[in-house]
Amino acid sequence: MKTKPELELADVKKIAAAAEAEALKNQWAVTIAIVDDGGHLLWLQRLDGAAPVSSHIAPSKARTAALGRRESKVYEDIVNGGRTSFLSAPTIDGLLEGGVPIMKDGQCLGAVGVSGVKSTEDAQIARAGIAAIGL
């Protein structure tokens, strides 16, 4: 039987704090979502001034990245490349850049999804959060 690492609450808090710090440093009002490897929500934080809809988009981006084991931008690029039939993929609804998987030794531990600013900036915030746990 194989074993694999998993996110603990302390890890989630470190990721969230670092992502929040990155957003605040840049004065970006965003929502930050962190999910486990099954896409289940572990953390949701909407910073002051973030649009209400971002609290729906950020978890969707995170869930998409976790379930697909790749950044949500991959799916955005697939659709933008003309493969619109991909929109019918079940449970994959965060097809925008800003969802980043948390990978360790080839295993997906979960993902961070951010929404509220340009998609490249959302991804920047997510990566800053993940870097806080050394990944």
Give domain limits for the chain. Answer: 9-132
Q: What is the mean pLDDT of each run of 10 residues along the chain (135 residues)?
A: 93 98 98 98 98 98 97 96 92 94 96 98 98 97
- CA separation for the pair 8, 5 (Å, rounded): 9
Report the pLDDT value the prediction gives residue 60, as an integer from 0 to 100: 98
Question: Within the chain, what is the greatest distance between any pair of CA atoms?
Answer: 47
What are the tokens at 101?
């998987």
Question: What's the fold here for domain 9-132?
Answer: Beta-Lactamase (3.30.450)
**What are the start-end ranges of the H helices in 30-93?**
54-68, 73-80
Give the C-alpha separation, 125 to 22, whole Å: 6
Only one residue has tokens 């970006």, namely: 28
pLDDT attached to residue 91: 85
Write down the pLDDT at residue 2: 85
Lookup result for tokens 């440093």: 25
